Amino acid sequence: MTTTTTKLICAECRHENEAERLYCHNCGERLDRSSVVAKKKIEDPTETHRRLRKMMEGPSRTRQNFFVACKLLLAAAATAGVVEMLSPPPEFPQAVKVTSPVQIDLELETATLKPVVLNYSQQDINAYLTYRLAGKKKVLDKPFLNFERAAVIFKEGACTVGWERSFFGYSIYSRTCYRVELNAGKLSAVNIGGWIGRLSIHPAMMKYADIIFADLWSAFDRERKLLAKMGSVAFHDGSVAITSPSH
């Protein structure tokens, strides 16, 4: 039920005033409010029924479908992300059998004393990684996460370092990619991206995600320090050339 009111007309100046006024807005004379008549309008029963039915109804079907679709999309995206993280990368090198690996650490030591260019194949480096890490498995093992192996992939201008760990027998792969730059006479590694499984990680995020490789960097601390002293490190497809520092 709705209520409407009429205007109040001043008896002195005939000015129309709002229904709630006591005195004329024009001349200030007290208004006769007995002329105010409230007009009552009876609401249409059909309109009343429609309004009550709307109040009793649940949420809109369209709205429900929208939120269900959003939840399904989020669940699908999360599932796809997990699948990508758990999928083995297509380029990760196969495990190599070590017989007599090149003593790269000793050759790097020698390179700091006399001019030399060291050339290694990707297989040479991976054999050395397997040899050096064989005795450090206990250090690299973590609760529920066992170390399996580490490997490198050389492409023109870039080196990808990755390792395989296992979680209850299921392999999980992590990789990080670098290029080497010479700044103020010193070599520095610049991260250009990484992956967990096949899930790509942006370089801006890798400065936080690089903690994944902290144990691996610690295991090769000596080699990393020796490489930092070199004059240049050039990556090519399947190989790397290391030049001793100028004396």
Look at 98 and 54; give whichever has higher pLDDT: 98
Report phi then psi at 201, rounded to 5.
Answer: -115, 130
Q: What angle do CA 207, 209, 215 make, to 5 degrees?
A: 100
pLDDT for 127-178, tens place per residue?
Answer: 999 999 988 888 899 888 999 999 999 999 999 999 999 998 899 999 999 9
- CA nearest to 161, candidates 243, 240, 242: 240
Q: What is the mean pLDDT of residues 60-74?
A: 84
pLDDT for 124-135, tens place per residue?
Answer: 999 999 999 988
Report phi then psi at 126, rounded to 5.
Answer: -65, -35
Question: Where would I find the beta strands (DSSP E) of the chain?
Answer: 2-4, 8-9, 16-17, 39-41, 117-121, 146-155, 158-167, 170-183, 186-196, 199-201, 232-236, 239-243
In this prediction, residue 39 has a pLDDT band, given cuts at 50, 70 and 90, of: very low
- CA nearest to 126, candidates 134, 117, 116: 134
Which alpha helices (H) appear in 15-101, and where do they start and end?
Answer: 45-56, 61-86
pTM, entire model: 0.68
Q: Please, are residues 39 and 5 in contact by the beta-carbon 8 Å criterion? A: yes
- When the pLDDT of each residue in the chain is averaged and rounded to a whole number, the result is 85
Look at 75 and 55; give whichever has higher pLDDT: 75
Q: What is the mean pLDDT of residues 180-205?
A: 89
In this prediction, residue 192 has a pLDDT band, given cuts at 50, 70 and 90, of: very high
What is the SS3 assignment for 56?
Answer: helix
